[in-house]
Structure 1
Amino acid sequence: MAKTGSGERPNILLIVLDTQRADRLSCYWSEAERAKRTPTSPNLDRLASESTLFERAIAPAQWTIPSHASMFTGEYPSTHQTVQADIELSPSFPTLAELLKFSGYSTVGFCNNPLVGILKNGLRRGFETFYNYGGALPTRPAEGNPLPQPFNRLIAAYTQFWRKLSYPVQNAFARSDRLFQLALHPWLVPLWTRLVNFKGNTAASIADLNRYLQQMARRQSDPRSANQPFFCFVNLMEPHLPYWPPEPFVQQFAPYFKSNRAARDFLRQYNVQPYRWMAPLPEPLSPLQAQVLSDIYDAEVAYQDHLLGSVFETLRHTGLERNTLVAVVADHGEGLGEHQFVGHAFVVYEELIRVPLLLRYPGHIPAGERIATPVSTRRLFHTLLEAAGFSPSLSLSQNRAPRVSLKIRREIARLSLARTLAGEDPEQGTVLSEAFPPHILIRAMENRDDQLLQERACYATRRALYEGSTKLIQTGETPSLYNLETDPEELRDLLSAGAWDTDSGTSLSTWLTRLQQGLKQWLAWAESRRPASAPRKVDVESDADLVRRMQELGYLE
């Protein structure tokens, strides 16, 4: 990636596809797979042909909050420690949006995930404007409301008043054991999944994004206006449960669904049982259940890709694509029954932490390249800042500019994915991923089936260390080892009894010891970068305060 001067700084469009597995985008399929399967992502496939595609991009964590915190700070979860819903990112870590803002970028977010857009966790720091499409009272640009302007202003003032009341309640549902347990009741699930916009509104957010891009194109083409670049963050979560893809996409990927009552009944029940979205499977899914989840997931992926096509078209017809760096990534994937897990709460298998990563920047990033080296998506922080011209010598003189150590400034240049594109990967294909089990989820589950949680080691922190095609998974004190080149689905643990009985047992033992020592060194390095102060826990309001706020909102008498 060529460095740019201050007058050539690119616009940056960061699109996070929440809960998107890499292997379910057709641009990640082999030629043999393409010949047999219906493409799920023709628009992203087209973008991939104009981009560099990273075949083995690894998320730093298996769920939303820690993974976004890593992409926004460039740090692993063991460093930033924002690994629970009640922890706020330390001000010691300047975020990507903060650094770009103080480097002269305008910063805006279009977010569908309430865990990023509503929770008080520091992930919105640095955004001048941030639109939430999830939650009880979504926010949208005035242009996205079809009512006349005077009514828009009145409605905006009214919803802002109620939003101040509702946000603490919505925060509490993600942090209070009692309220979280209440939210899992099947009778209440339709309320918060549909009426409270759990998945946001993908179509509305993309429509608003297109209008924003058109406005920016007009502004940047006007010689009378300051040519200020923009950083635009977008979070889309269409492939997240519950599943409601439009009928044409269901028909395309699950043609049996309309006529198969058992398939429809299973999905209808599954959609209102969020406990089943997250808990380990007590027994494997039936063939029909596995097929329904897999096919309907693909239908959601295809619907989201269909909507994304308009964004890429907007970039083309406005001319923005010439000077816009587009990064498409996922925060994590999704388990669909593999390894007897569903959802994305506990494990570090490929279906959860191997994610798509595409980088497109004409004239600066090669088109059509595919990079096989494992890379961490935390390095987007360094990559985007370097592309924006943020260098060790850059001086931030604004009064409220975040403090940026010389070490971080140097790391921006060293850890940019530009080094990997040049064949000089600074981490030599060694990547870490960490799964800290969400505490509030564990507490909700242990009352139902603590024995199953114990059997599946759900209380343990899991970590994965990649070294080329070798992958070590450390679950508490228990290791497992996989060769992803010969076993991409991680079905054969090389440390199983059968593997140890082979002639390679001695070398395998040495191999394991070296990887475990490497993991300890990575963790020691990550922990050494922590700030001196402990991570800040967000206070949950008292039950009396919550009852009062819920009464004000009309939820309680």
Structure 2
Amino acid sequence: MLSPILPTLAERLRNAGYFTSGFSNNLTVGVLNNGLRRGFQRFVNYNGFLSSQSRQARMNPKAFAPYLKLFKRQLNTNARSLQDTLAHSEGLQNLSFPLYARLGPLLEKMLKTKGNTKKALTDAAQLLIERKEVDEGQPIFTFINLMGTHLPYHPPLHFLKRYASDVLRDKAARRYLNHLNTHLLSWMAPLTTDLDEQSKAILDGTYDAEVASQDEQVGAFLEKLRSGGALNRTLVIVCADHGEHLGEKQLMGHAFSIYNELTWVPLLIRDPGGDLPAGVQIEQFVSTRRIFHTVLAAAGQADPLEESLSLAQTRSAESDPDHGVVFSEAFPLGNLLHILQQREPQLVQEHRCDQMRRAVWKGEHKLIQVGDDHWELYNVFEDPNEKKNLYEALPEQVRAMQEHLQTFVSHAGVGAPTTDYTIEYEDPVVLSHLRNLGYLE
């Protein structure tokens, strides 16, 4: 739960006169009332059978809401039953893959456990171009959260053909992908052994296909803004909240790691105002937390400290206000950890799944702390896959970076986040999916 004393970006901008809107395909943002939606005048959640608008965003419920809820409940129940049948039927799994590949996305569209990327982007583009509900001259802040690259993987067939063509011909590969899509621990828990070459290829290929599909849809969104005359008056920032483990280091998903597979994420900015010139690539590491400061500065709402932390101030290592020092931290998700402790306790111990992780980057090195007493040091330029632990070899470097880490912890007052969530939506499929993900008991 986000502390109420910490203002969100939407709150800051709304108080400055912006129309604030959110379009979320993420269950943990669109459904859990964890404070992340504070400040949005309009917030739409696309999970479940039909999209819904958050009460937290002060949208008035429709008169027919109780009837709509019953309608959604029945449709969701039927769709879930069909999906379960598909997941556990050997006969259906042996169908020709083009048919099987079309059934998966169809059910995903019905259940919307990953939301509805196309509709979210269409609705956001419509708002930015047509400006309905927005006062004349009023600036708009829009947050769009997409989930297309999360499991379950059901990429469009033409992208499967391009990136994972072996899956189309191999029944064993089809069974592996189906198991991955339908079993929580298969894509959240650590592995007991390394993935074999074929399984790794299937996983990489289907993930790449999902990324390509998402990229295509974001490209279409930007083209709509361009053709509608909105692109050149819009600051666009594209980033990710985390990466994904696909079997590296015997890890899956994004729950129990702070390695580069999770922390190196894309960050692209298109700034028609010119503070961030086109074609410039920043080589050093930066923190995505500074998106907050960058947006406030672009909106003319930053105080002097926030202005100094705008990414527009980082043209080189010499001009970086963070001096190339970047921090990251990862907390174990309590409910998911509880599931893992019950089913795979040896994996919890082996991979230290119950311990907090922190990392600091400075220059070419990255120091990782797991719990109180486990340390790893890597040269991330020479060893980006983090295979050679230099902790014993470079004690002076370790001590210097430990000081940075301790300073960060003491200044930030870091503590484990609370999970005292409330739920606004009573969609049974959404709630079931949150339980499967480990966010609810």
TM-score (norm 2): 0.82
**Which of these residues, 232, 235, 240, is aligned with residue 325 of structure 1?**
235
For 2:200, give the aligned amino acid: A
Alpha-carbon distance, 1:323 to partner: 1.7
Task: Between 510-519 and 108-117, report the one with greater CA deviation.
Answer: 510-519
Q: Is the 8 A contact 1:140 1:208 kept in 2?
A: no
For 1:39-65, what per-residue CA distance to the aligned partner results, in whole angstroms no more than 9, with x for missing partners?
xxxxxxxxxxxxxxxxxxxxxxxxxxx
- Using a 3 Å threshold, how does the CA distance of structure 1 residues 374 and 454 change in structure 2: closer, same or farther? same
Q: Is the 8 A contact 1:95 1:125 kept in 2?
A: yes
Aligned match of 1:246? 156
Aligned match of 1:215? 130
Q: Does 1:411 align with 2:324?
A: no
For 1:209, give the aligned amino acid: A
Q: Is the 8 A contact 1:243 1:296 kept in 2?
A: yes
Aligned match of 2:314? 420
* Distance in 2 separating the partners of 1:124 and 1:208: 18
Q: Does 1:158 align with 2:64?
A: yes
Aligned match of 1:22? none
For 1:468, give the aligned amino acid: G
Alpha-carbon distance, 1:140 to partner: 7.2
* Distance in 1 separating the partners of 2:107 and 2:336: 17
For 1:526, give the aligned amino acid: A
Alpha-carbon distance, 1:219 to partner: 9.2
**Which of these residues, 420, 423, 427, is aligned with residue 538 of structure 1?**
420
Q: Does 1:206 align with 2:121?
A: yes
* Distance in 1 separating the partners of 2:71 and 2:7: 29
Q: How does 1:258-273 map to 2 (within 5 A)?
A: 258-273=168-183
- Using a 3 Å threshold, how does the CA distance of structure 1 residues 483 and 91 change in structure 2: closer, same or farther? same
Q: Does 1:489 align with 2:395?
A: no
For 2:288, give the aligned amino acid: T
* Distance in 2 separating the partners of 1:95 and 1:160: 32
Which ranges of structure 1 fall in alignment gaps of 5 or more residues? Answer: 1-87, 142-154, 168-182, 393-409
Aligned match of 1:92? 5
Q: How does 1:253-292 map to 2 (within 5 A)?
A: 253-292=163-202
**Which of these residues, 2, 15, 19, is aligned with residue 102 of structure 1?**
15
**Which of these residues, 401, 409, 424, is aligned with residue 523 of structure 1?**
409
* Distance in 1 separating the partners of 2:164 and 2:277: 36
Q: Is the 8 A contact 1:219 1:227 kept in 2?
A: no
Alpha-carbon distance, 1:269 to partner: 1.6
* SS state at 2:52 partner: coil
For 2:44, give the aligned amino acid: Y
TM-score (norm 1): 0.65
Alpha-carbon distance, 1:318 to partner: 2.0
Q: Does 1:372 align with 2:268?
A: no
Aligned length: 392
* Distance in 2 separating the partners of 1:165 and 1:523: 49
- Using a 3 Å threshold, how does the CA distance of structure 1 residues 219 and 134 change in structure 2: closer, same or farther? closer
For 1:112, give the aligned amino acid: N
Alpha-carbon distance, 1:137 to partner: 4.2
* Distance in 2 separating the partners of 1:537 and 1:257: 39
* Distance in 2 separating the partners of 1:536 and 1:331: 19
Using CA pairs below 8 Å that are at least 6 residues apart, which structure has the higher relative contact order? 1
Alpha-carbon distance, 1:391 to partner: 3.5
Q: How does 1:129-148 map to 2 (within 5 A)?
A: 129-135=42-48, 137-139=50-52
Aligned match of 1:303? 213
* Distance in 2 separating the partners of 1:539 and 1:426: 35
For 1:209-264, what per-residue CA distance to the aligned partner results, in whole angstroms no more than 9, with x for missing partners?
23223213x999xxxx6211100100111010000001000001112221111111
Aligned match of 1:510? 396
Alpha-carbon distance, 1:135 to partner: 3.3
Which ranges of structure 2 fall in alignment gaps of 5 or more residues? Answer: 55-60, 74-83, 89-103, 432-441
Superposed CA RMSD in Å reads 3.1
* Distance in 1 separating the partners of 2:427 and 2:43: 24
* SS state at 2:144 partner: strand
* Distance in 1 separating the partners of 2:328 and 2:250: 20
* Distance in 1 separating the partners of 2:6 and 2:193: 42
* Distance in 1 separating the partners of 2:342 and 2:109: 27
* SS state at 1:371 partner: coil
* SS state at 1:257 partner: helix
* Distance in 1 separating the partners of 2:126 and 2:62: 19
- Using a 3 Å threshold, how does the CA distance of structure 1 residues 212 and 525 change in structure 2: closer, same or farther? same
